[in-house]
């Protein structure tokens, strides 16, 4: 099975896009690697603490997809050169830098993970 190194996947994160929002936070991803789809999401980790899948969602053009809704029957596609938001509800970020870990399951590649560190701006 082919593996994709974390340093390449880290390029998905839009630098300085981490923002506090409402009762949670959000950030952006931009696919510069190639079109693909996920058939499963792993819990987002913030400084080692998992965010529930049902409180984490993709936001694309006024359409929201909760991580818990993504499955083999309901895949999620991130087209090449598209920017998408990721929002986590009910998760307070303290001031300072935060390490975010993200993972997803891709057909033919298996589980892919990457992380990034950023300081949250005010939304």
pLDDT tens digits along 48-83: 999 999 999 999 888 999 999 999 999 998 888 999
Number of domains in the chain: 1
CATH of the domain at 61: 2.60.40
Q: What is the pTM of this model?
A: 0.92
- Among 7-11, 15-19, 38-42, which stretch is predicted with the lowest mean pLDDT? 7-11
Measured distance CA(45)–CA(52) in Å, rounded: 9
- Structural domain span for residue 17: 6-122
3-state secondary structure of 116: strand
**Is residue 59 situated within a structural domain?**
yes
**Is residue 1 situated within a structural domain?**
no
Dihedral Cα 52, 12, 98, 70, nearest 10 deg: 0
Asked if 21 contacts 36 with a C-beta cutoff of 8 angstroms, the reply is no
């Amino acid at each position: 099975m082919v593996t994709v190194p974390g340093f390449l996947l880290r390029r998905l994160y839009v630098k300085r896009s981490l923002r506090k929002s409402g009762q949670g936070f959000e950030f952006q991803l931009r696919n510069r690697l190639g079109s693909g789809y996920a058939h499963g999401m792993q819990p987002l980790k913030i400084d080692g603490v998992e965010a529930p899948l049902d409180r984490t969602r993709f936001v694309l053009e006024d359409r929201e997809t909760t991580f818990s809704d993504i499955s083999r029957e309901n895949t999620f596609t991130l087209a090449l050169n598209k920017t998408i938001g990721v929002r986590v509800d009910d998760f307070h970020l303290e001031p300072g830098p935060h390490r975010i870990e993200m993972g997803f399951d891709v057909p033919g590649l298996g589980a892919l993970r990457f992380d990034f560190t950023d300081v949250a701006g005010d939304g």
